[in-house]
Every structure is written in structure tokens, then in C-alpha cells.
Structure 1
Amino acid sequence: MSEIQATRRRLWRRLTLACGSALSLVSLTACDLAPEYHPATFVVPASWQGQGPFHVATPADETLPTNWWTGFGDPMLNSLEDRATAGNADLQASAERFIQARSMVVQARAQLLPHLGLEAGASDNKQSVNRLFRYKGPVTSADAYYQGVASWEPDFWSEIRNQVRAQKQYAQQKAADFAMARLSTQAELATDYIELRGYDAQIAIYKQSIAYYQKALSITQNQLENQAAPRLDVARAQAQLYSTQAAELDIEAARGVTEHAIAILTNASPSSFHIPADQTLVFNNPNVPAGIPSELLQRRPDIASAERAMAQSNRDIGIARAAFYPHINFNLLGGFDSNNLDLSTLSNSLWSYGAGLSMPLFEGGMRRAELQRSWSEYRETRDEYRHTVLAAFREVEDGLTNTNRLTLENDAMQKAVAATLATQNMTMTLYQGGVGTYLEAIFAQVQTLETRIHQVEIATRMYQAKVSLIRALGGGWDVKTLPTMDQTLSIDPLQYDHLHHPNTVGGVTISQHPEQFENLANPAPTAPAASAGSQLTPLPSPSPAAQTH
């Protein structure tokens, strides 16, 4: 009876030791050496200033739609934006970088699991009979084997887990980078399109002014023939006409360059891409809700990207700390080996198992330097995050200031255009009546043309400032659209299908067939512009009948 009790006590001690070892292993595996992560918390103003009469923003303000460009009311712009979002090469490449980052998450996670494999081989060997010091045995020998191998490294210090978490955060960063690239592409396209329409309006004004100057030159030539005006007036009229024609050519060249940029953004060759010109600059003035400054941290993809980079650097500290502790790995091998093909017999079996431990003792400060570097890198990403936030605040304030001031400036310039047009008509009438000089007429013509062109430039900048403000506010993006940590995994450990293209997460859309975008000879969309059908107000023509002889 005492032997049975003693045996029970021994078994109980062994079971207790085994359970304690297992619990210790679990507790060690859960040890995370990375510092507890807390995103930076900033004290920000309650509302935007914007250097203008803006009301105090509230969280209940209307948010921007993701297709914000439709607010300008231009079907041509809508078609161009849809084409760029679907087929822009830079956007497709950015989406592929996100997929690559997701694959790196799976690669990092694979280190947490045991690695299993098979090995097999066979050889037939013959020794030279006359070799010096040859062993007096068989000249020929054969060997064949197959075996299974397994290895596993327990993640006692969460080094591998922190690598996985860092890779997941890197994938989230790439998703935010894609959102920022998409927003920048859309904003750049809208800015270029508005600039193109501004050039169209300027060209129309130049053509209208050139026609007016040609008639004015004809009048001065008639005045000269009738000895009612000096040759100087003709020279001045010619100079005014030719310089205006040269200025028109310069604007046409700038329009061509801008059109080429739009073609590239929409995945088309400039040679086959042409947008018909219009005479006026007409867009809807979209409402842009600014919200409150604290919400900007959730709306800007570049801020989210900088925050994810900071979270990665925090995990790198834990990885650097884990390098100071011992690492253990387990290995297992089993199979058959024989000098003939009879491998299935038990006598030809073999196995081997064991464990290894490695721990640094002295490496000249290498690991301490790596830990120091990781802390510095974390502080650097924290500084960069703060800089990104400040830059975003500045861009919003710039956008609010520009949209307000340019709107007021455009209203004033429209009044100035009306006044200079009246002055041009009056001075030309006075010259034809012999009361005024042609120098006064020339001065009025120059002032009128410059004012009209400047008004179009101001209007162009006003609409572009709207685009810049929308981009500064995030273009309707929200940080909630980022994929979660678990969604960044592109495949499961036992998944062998659908490897060509993973499921779409985080709003990162990409075509599975990039060859469909390799036709670069696509023409521009045929949708009408917002200004389609609009015409410039005709200028009163100088009347030859009013000349004084």
C-alpha cells in the first residue's frame, strides 16, 4: 500500500511540475516588451480662424462626400475623375504596395507557427580502386533516405508577435498612403482641369480683343489716309494688335501643356487626347464644410499614415528589447535511411529531437545601440507626426483664407471689368469723334484687356482654392475606412486558392487585370463642360461710320 501511495505522490509531483512548466511557458509567451502605446494627444483650437468671416464650426456640420468634385457641376470633370480613379498608373502601383504589405504580414505571422517539411534523396557512389589509403571495403555504395523535419521557436518575449503587429501597422500605413495618393490625384486633376478652363476663357478674351484691335487698326489707317490722325496712331494700334496676338499664343501653349498633364493623369497618351475649348469659366461654387480642428486628425490620410508609422516604431522597441533575452528552438526529425531501396522496414528508421538555446553575453554594445536607435526612431516618428498635423492645420487655414479673399477679390474684379469696358468704349468713341487722342484709347484698351484677363485668373485661383481646401480637409475620407489589424492578413495558413489577388479591404480598390489599361490611345470623354453653350458678352465694335474726316 505504501508503494502505491509513493507512486501516486511521484506521479502527482510530475504532473504538477508539467502543469507548472506549461503555465510558465504560457506566461512567458505572453510577455510583451514593447512600451504601452499611446498616440500623441494635441491641444488644438476649438474652431478655424481662416482670416475671414466664418462661423464657429460644430461637429454636426455636414461632411464632405468622397466624390466631392461633383459639387462643381461639370460632367466633363466627373468623367475625367472617374477615369483617373479607375486607371491611373500611380494609384494602381500604390494599391499593389498595400497588397505587398499584407503579404509581409502573413510572412511575419508564419514565424509563430511550427515549420514542417519533407526531405528525400538518393545517391550511388563508387571509389577508385587505386586510391591511396583506400579503405579495404566495398568499392561501390548506395544511400537512399526520406524524412520529415519540424522546427518551432516559442515566442517567449513577443519578439515575433511584435514583428507581426508592426507589419500589420505597416499595411495600415500603406492603406492610408493609397488613400492620400488617390486624394492627391483627384485634387491635381481637378486643379489642372480648372486651370485648363481658365486658359480657355483667357484665349476667348484674347480672340475677342484681337478682333476689336483689328477694327481699331482699320479705323486709324482710315484716319491716317484722311489726314485726320498721325502715323504714330497707326504704329500704336499695330503694336497693340501684335503684342496681344503673341500673348494669345503663349496662353495656347500653356493650355496644351495642361491638357497633356490631364491626359497622363487619366491614363491616356497626349497625342490622342483633346478636350474641346469653351469660352467662359463657369463652375458651381460647392459648399465645403470645414468641421472642427480636432476632427481633422480623423479625416486626413497622411495624418493616419504618420500615426501608424509611430505605432510601428513603438513595436520596434519591443523587438530590440527581446534581443537581450535567451531564445529557444525545438527541432524534430524522423524518417528512414538505407543503402538500398528497402526503406520501409523499422530497422532502417531514424529519428532525432532536441532543443537549442542561444543568449548573448558580450557583443560590444551592438544590441544596446540597436535599442537606443529604436527609441530615437520612435521619437523621430512622433516629431514627424506632430509636423504632419501642423502642416495639415496650416493647409486648412490657407484654404479658408484663400477661398474667402479670392471670392471677394473676384467680385471686385467683375465690377472693374464692367468699368474698364465702358471706359474702352467711351475713349474709342471720343477718338473717332476727334475729341480724344489714340493714346487714351490705347491706354483704355490695355487696361481693359489686363483687367479681364486678371479677373479670369482670380476666378481660376478661387475655384482651385476650393479644391485645395477640400484636399486639406481630407476629401471626405475617414480613418474608420482603414482596414483593421486582422483584415490586413491576405491569406490563411492553409489557404491555397485565390493567391493571385486577395480580397479587397480598407477601400483599396485595384484591378485584377492591369492589361485592360494598356490601351493608351483613348480619346478624352465626350461629356459636356459646365460652361457648354456659354458665350462671352460681345464687345461694342468701333463704327467706321462715326469717323470724322
Structure 2
Amino acid sequence: MYKRRITKWVGVAFVSLTFTACSLPTVVQKSANPMVPASYNNSQDTTNTAKLRWQDYFTDPHLSALIDTALQNNQELNITLQEIQIAQNEVRARKGEYLPSVGLRGATGVDKVARYTNIGAMEATTNIEGEREMPEPLTDFMVGAFATWEVDVWHKLRNAKKAAVLRYLSTVEGKNFMVTNLVAEMANSYYELLALDNQLAIVRQNIALQTNALEIVKAQKEATRVTELAVRKFEAELLHSKSLQYDIQQKITETENRINFLAGRYPQPIARDAQAFSSLVPGTISAGIPTQLLENRPDVKQAELELAASKLDVKVAKANFYPSLGITAGVGFQAFDPSFLIKTPESLLYTLAGDIAAPLINRNAIKATYYSANAKQLQAVYSYERTVLNAYVEVANQLSKINNLEKSYDLKEKQVQALTQSIDISNELFKSARADYMEVLLTQRDALESKFELIETKVQQMNAWVNIYQALGGGWN
């Protein structure tokens, strides 16, 4: 009769565990589709500028020194390095979860049981080693080792550890992506600083020309060839140029401070060769093929690793529906007298137990975790696809920008030459009273604006040259 009951309950338990393991909620999963076009501009050349080290790409010694300082001192980068350490510690913690846990334990205590109780009466009639009665009060001493282990039948713990490893690698790629951005931001700020230096030099040259022109106009007014209005117009234009130089000086200060901030130091002068700006020519770019972005760009690799980790998270959440098997064991010595602890086998104790458990009713929390893990996996898929798409678009935009800026620079250079020549012509015509003073002023202003635009185009060219290197995934290796 009892044997039938035991068999019945064991059968019920196995049926319950089987039902628990098989009745999983239905979720929707999606695989990433990182397909990219075959080329950027019908070229299949696999030579890629991103393979160059930043030391070989940026040859200006002043810029190289600034980048090197930033890579050592930038606070945001150092914060990211600590995040890598945190992720590494998470891997260590996950690894320890699926290994047996062993510990030592020691304990002591004292117990006085009332004599007129069942336990007290039994102790009173118990003899220890002959006629000696059990001591009262009863002391207790124990020393031993114990171990616990969850058997990773469904690879739940191993998958959690693998997911932690992938996230650690993801933080490394995140650091590489930050290095790429830091190198590019430093280079762009440096070229912007050189452009501002050149704009300031042009303004000062223009101030000298306008001062000379103002003296001529004053002389002509005394000769009654022009009116006071012409003098005031020339004077106003000169004052405008003088005020403009202070605006540029403020931008120079802010740009220097931004560079110093990136370098992790307090404001100080930035060593640079401003005269070399006009001779800067963007280097040749080899974009390779789009599929190389999957290998070169740290943000793409980071998104890929996050996707792989999220898939493992789904497996870990799924394993929570299955029965878990735990094993506990212990061995040691226990006695009421310390002198008896070493007597074996009387004082020897050991224990070995196993338990199996599975959720059966009210699994809402487990289901919620499973649904959330799957939703995060879908998010990771879309994030990965978006990152790949964004990488391709960035490269395509920068390639087009480099091409258009090159053509624009050539035209603006010719425009500056024409307007520079027109300044001399307008001055000569004005001296001979064949041109109005407004024509002289407008010609000077147009020439100044065209020189500014030429410098802006040049710095945009250099920024595009920096940004294409960043977009291709260069700068971190």
C-alpha cells in the first residue's frame, strides 16, 4: 500500500517537472541582417585607410603630441577603462557561480535541558565511557568543511558567464570607439584652431589696408574731392574690422581650452604652426568595401557583441523554466568535549544531499524575465542593424563631401584671386575719381568675406579628411 503511494507521488512529481519544462511561453525572435551594398562607388578595391595607425595618418608633430596626451589623460577615456575593469569582475563573478562553493565552518555552544522532559530524562540515563553521565550543561564544539553546487544541467550558468564575457569584450570595443572619437575630435579642433589663426592674420592685414585707405580718404576730403560721409564710411568699416579680430581671438581662446580639456589639463598655450595651414592638403583616401566596416568600426563590433550576449540572456531566462539540481555536502568533527573531536569515527560527521526543484504554479516572474530578455534581444538586433546602416551612411556622406569640397575650394580660390586684384583696381580708380568710395568699401568687404570662406572651406576639407578616417573605423588600433 505504502509502496503504491510512493510510486504515485513520484510519478506526479516527474509529470509536473516534465510539464514545467515543456510548457514554455511563445516569443518572437529575429536574426540580424547586416547586409550592406557591395561598394561605395562601384570600386572593389579592398585597400582601406582605416588600417593606418593614427600616428601615420596625422603627421603634424604638434597634433600627434596633443593626441598622445589626450589618450593618456582624458578623463572620459579613463572612466571607460574602469568600466572595462567592472565588466571583467562581472565575468569573474559569473564564472564562480557554476563552480562548486567550498567553505570552512567552526561553531561552539552550550545547552541546558530541563531534567523532567523527554530529552532531559534520556540524557540522564545516558552513560559516556563507562559509568560517567553525560555532562550538564552540555557544550558543543564543531569544525568542518561544507560545499554547495548547483549542477548546470541546462547550461544556464555557463551561458550567463559567456554573456558576461561578451559584454566585457563589448566594453573593450566601446573604449576603442571612444579612442576613435577622441582622436578625431582632437584633430578637428586642432585644424579649427589653425583656421582661426589664419582668419585673425587676414583681419589684421585688412585692418592695415583699411587704415591706409582711411588716410587717403582724409587727404582727399581736405582737397575737397570727397565729403565727410566718405570719411565716416571708411572709418566705420575700419572699426568693424577691429571689432572682428576680438571675436576671433575669443574663438581661439575657446578652441584652445577645448583642446586642453580633451587633453585632460588646465588651459595653457597650444603649440602649433599656423603658417602651415594654407599648405595643408588632404591625403588620399582608400575607402575599401563596405563589408570591412563590420571588422574595422568598434561601434559595429560592440553592437554585434551586445547582440550575441542578448541571445545568451534569452537562453538563461529560458533555463529558469527547467528543474534545477543542487547538491550540498559537508564533513567535519563534532563533540561536547574538545578532547573528543579527534576521536574517529565517533566524532566524525558528514552529510550529502541533493535536491531538485522546478516552478510549477505562478510563474509570472519567470515569464516576465523571459519576455524582457527576448525584447532586449530584439532591441539588440535593431540596434546592430542601425549601427551598420549609420556606418555606411557616414562613409558615403564623407566621401561625397570630400569630392564636392575639393571642387568648391578650387572655385573659391579663383574667387579670392579675382577679388584681391579688384581691391587694387578699385583703389586706383578711386584715386583718379573714376570710382565711388562705396565701390571701394564693397570690394574690400567682398574680398575679406571670400578669404574667410576660403579658409572655412579649407578647414571643412580637413575635417572631412579626419571624419572619413573616423567613419571607416580608423584611429583605435
Answer whether TM exceeds 0.5 for this pair.
yes
Instruction: Describe the shift of the 1:219–1:126 C-alpha distance in structure 2 as closer, same or farther (beyond 3 A).
Output: farther
Instruction: Describe the shift of the 1:387–1:464 C-alpha distance in structure 2 as closer, same or farther (beyond 3 A).
Output: same
Separation in 2, partners of 1:288, 1:463: 12
> Which among 54, 57, 60 is matched to residue 68 of structure 1?
54
| 2:270 alignment counterpart | 274
* 2:40 aligned partner, one-letter code: W
Residue 249 of structure 1: how far off its partner (Å): 1.0
| 1:258 alignment counterpart | 255
Residue 209 of structure 1: how far off its partner (Å): 0.6
Counting only pairs closer than 5 Å after superposition, residues 325-340 of structure 1 correspond to structure 2 as: 325-340=322-337
Structure 1 stretch displaced more, 230-239 or 92-101: 92-101
Separation in 1, partners of 2:329, 2:149: 9
> Which among 174, 177, 180 is matched to residue 180 of structure 1?
177
Question: Are 2:152 and 1:155 equivalent residues in the alignment?
Answer: yes
* 1:312 aligned partner, one-letter code: A
| 1:438 alignment counterpart | 437
> Which among 189, 209, 214 is matched to residue 212 of structure 1?
209
Residue 141 of structure 1: how far off its partner (Å): 5.3
Residue 273 of structure 1: how far off its partner (Å): 4.0
Residue 288 of structure 1: how far off its partner (Å): 1.7
> Which among 33, 40, 44 is matched to residue 48 of structure 1?
40
1:109–1:161 contact (8 Å) kept in structure 2: yes
Question: Are 2:417 and 1:418 equivalent residues in the alignment?
Answer: yes
Separation in 2, partners of 1:363, 1:371: 14
Residue 223 of structure 1: how far off its partner (Å): 1.6
Separation in 2, partners of 1:89, 1:273: 20
Residue 38 of structure 1: how far off its partner (Å): 9.9
Counting only pairs closer than 5 Å after superposition, residues 522-533 of structure 1 correspond to structure 2 as: none
Separation in 1, partners of 2:295, 2:272: 40
2:30–2:381 contact (8 Å) kept in structure 1: no
Separation in 2, partners of 1:207, 1:122: 90
Instruction: Describe the shift of the 1:112–1:364 C-alpha distance in structure 2 as closer, same or farther (beyond 3 A).
Output: closer
1:72–1:284 contact (8 Å) kept in structure 2: no
1:69–1:77 contact (8 Å) kept in structure 2: no
* 1:195 aligned partner, one-letter code: E
**3-state SS of 1:64 partner:** helix
Separation in 2, partners of 1:321, 1:286: 53
1:391-445 per-position Cα deviation (integer Å, ceiling 9, x unaligned): 1111011101111111111111111110000001110121122222211100100
> Which among 190, 195, 213 is matched to residue 193 of structure 1?
190
2:46–2:289 contact (8 Å) kept in structure 1: no
Question: Are 2:457 and 1:464 equivalent residues in the alignment?
Answer: no
| 1:499 alignment counterpart | none
Residue 165 of structure 1: how far off its partner (Å): 1.1
Structure 1 stretch displaced more, 368-377 or 164-173: 368-377
Residue 367 of structure 1: how far off its partner (Å): 2.1
**3-state SS of 1:336 partner:** strand
Separation in 1, partners of 2:273, 2:61: 14
| 2:231 alignment counterpart | 234
2:183–2:475 contact (8 Å) kept in structure 1: no
Instruction: Describe the shift of the 1:304–1:459 C-alpha distance in structure 2 as closer, same or farther (beyond 3 A).
Output: same
| 2:71 alignment counterpart | 85
**3-state SS of 2:338 partner:** coil
1:180–1:302 contact (8 Å) kept in structure 2: yes
Separation in 1, partners of 2:109, 2:224: 115
| 1:496 alignment counterpart | none
Separation in 2, partners of 1:472, 1:98: 24
* 2:413 aligned partner, one-letter code: Q
Separation in 2, partners of 1:73, 1:311: 38
Instruction: Describe the shift of the 1:355–1:364 C-alpha distance in structure 2 as closer, same or farther (beyond 3 A).
Output: closer
Separation in 2, partners of 1:448, 1:190: 29
Residue 366 of structure 1: how far off its partner (Å): 2.8
Counting only pairs closer than 5 Å after superposition, residues 468-487 of structure 1 correspond to structure 2 as: 468-475=467-474
Residue 452 of structure 1: how far off its partner (Å): 0.3
Residue 143 of structure 1: how far off its partner (Å): 3.4
* 1:373 aligned partner, one-letter code: S
| 1:109 alignment counterpart | 95
* 1:40 aligned partner, one-letter code: A
**3-state SS of 2:388 partner:** helix
Separation in 1, partners of 2:362, 2:417: 81
Counting only pairs closer than 5 Å after superposition, residues 264-303 of structure 1 correspond to structure 2 as: 264-270=261-267, 272-275=268-271, 278-279=274-275, 281=277, 282-303=279-300
Residue 44 of structure 1: how far off its partner (Å): 2.5
**3-state SS of 2:325 partner:** strand
Residue 72 of structure 1: how far off its partner (Å): 4.4
Structure 1 stretch displaced more, 440-449 or 288-297: 288-297
Instruction: Describe the shift of the 1:367–1:454 C-alpha distance in structure 2 as closer, same or farther (beyond 3 A).
Output: same
Separation in 1, partners of 2:360, 2:335: 42
| 1:14 alignment counterpart | none
CA RMSD of aligned residues (A): 2.4
* 2:37 aligned partner, one-letter code: P
Residue 66 of structure 1: how far off its partner (Å): 4.1
Residue 184 of structure 1: how far off its partner (Å): 0.5
Identity %: 27
Counting only pairs closer than 5 Å after superposition, residues 341-356 of structure 1 correspond to structure 2 as: 341-342=338-339, 343-346=341-344, 347-356=346-355
Question: Are 2:310 and 1:318 equivalent residues in the alignment?
Answer: no
* 1:81 aligned partner, one-letter code: I
Q: Unaligned regions of 5+ residues in structure 1, if any?
A: 1-34, 50-55, 130-134, 478-506, 508-549
Residue 235 of structure 1: how far off its partner (Å): 0.7
**Between structures 1 and 2, the one with greater helix share:** 2
Instruction: Describe the shift of the 1:66–1:82 C-alpha distance in structure 2 as closer, same or farther (beyond 3 A).
Output: farther
Question: Are 2:40 and 1:57 equivalent residues in the alignment?
Answer: no
Residue 57 of structure 1: how far off its partner (Å): 2.5
Residue 39 of structure 1: how far off its partner (Å): 6.5
**3-state SS of 2:44 partner:** coil
Counting only pairs closer than 5 Å after superposition, residues 372-411 of structure 1 correspond to structure 2 as: 372-411=371-410
Instruction: Describe the shift of the 1:380–1:276 C-alpha distance in structure 2 as closer, same or farther (beyond 3 A).
Output: closer
| 1:99 alignment counterpart | 85
Residue 360 of structure 1: how far off its partner (Å): 0.4
2:50–2:296 contact (8 Å) kept in structure 1: no
Separation in 2, partners of 1:400, 1:202: 27
* 2:342 aligned partner, one-letter code: S
Residue 69 of structure 1: how far off its partner (Å): 5.6
Separation in 2, partners of 1:84, 1:144: 62
Instruction: Describe the shift of the 1:430–1:362 C-alpha distance in structure 2 as closer, same or farther (beyond 3 A).
Output: same
Larger radius of gyration: 2
1:76-109 per-position Cα deviation (integer Å, ceiling 9, x unaligned): 1111112212332222221222222122112111
1:39–1:307 contact (8 Å) kept in structure 2: no
**3-state SS of 1:120 partner:** strand
Instruction: Describe the shift of the 1:345–1:203 C-alpha distance in structure 2 as closer, same or farther (beyond 3 A).
Output: same
2:94–2:161 contact (8 Å) kept in structure 1: yes
